[in-house]
Amino acid sequence: MALVSLCLCSCEEGDAEIMFSTVGNSDPDNMGVYYDSPDPCCIAKFYTVYAGAQSGELILKAKNVNNIYFDDPSEKYHIYYGETPDGQIDHDKLIYEEIGMTVTIIDHRKLKFEFKELSLDPDADYTFLMSGVGVKSNKGGKIRETGITVHRSNR
């Protein structure tokens, strides 16, 4: 019994390794960001971006690192790198086809979320789309990473 108590007490919730603040939001009534505490609580906190079916932009700025980059996207979930004007792979842009979103790294430490308008029926039952953005940084020889969950809905 003492061993079980010790294991439960030694589990501590930590902050996200990369901290963000909101520096731009084109529609605060329909989009925003939460800093969440997961369950179980011994997992690091993470961010959740929520957006309705409307178009808009949200910009987050890394507060504790100076150079962020994306975790490798998954084509399985229809997430792709963007392209530069000359047709090269743009590792600073991710395109999320299924949820109508593009995320771009600006000035090495900002994430710009661009949401396309979705044709979700506002009178239908609750419609919910979800994806995630993996963000990393190398600070002091240590790779830091933070997950950002993205929720879009018709409500």
Take residue 41 and report the two structure tokens written for it.
Answer: 């609580």
Q: Is residue 128 predicted with pLDDT exceeding 80?
A: yes
Q: Is residue 145 predicted with pLDDT exceeding 50?
A: yes
What pTM value is reported for the model? 0.86
Q: Is residue 10 predicted with pLDDT exceeding 70?
A: no
Q: Does domain 12-153 have CATH number 3.40.50?
A: no
Give Cα separations from 113 to 43, 49, 78 (angstroms). 25, 9, 17
Domain ranges, ordered by start, for the chain:
12-153
d(CA 94, CA 46): 19
Look at strands 46-51 and 142-153 and give their pairing. parallel
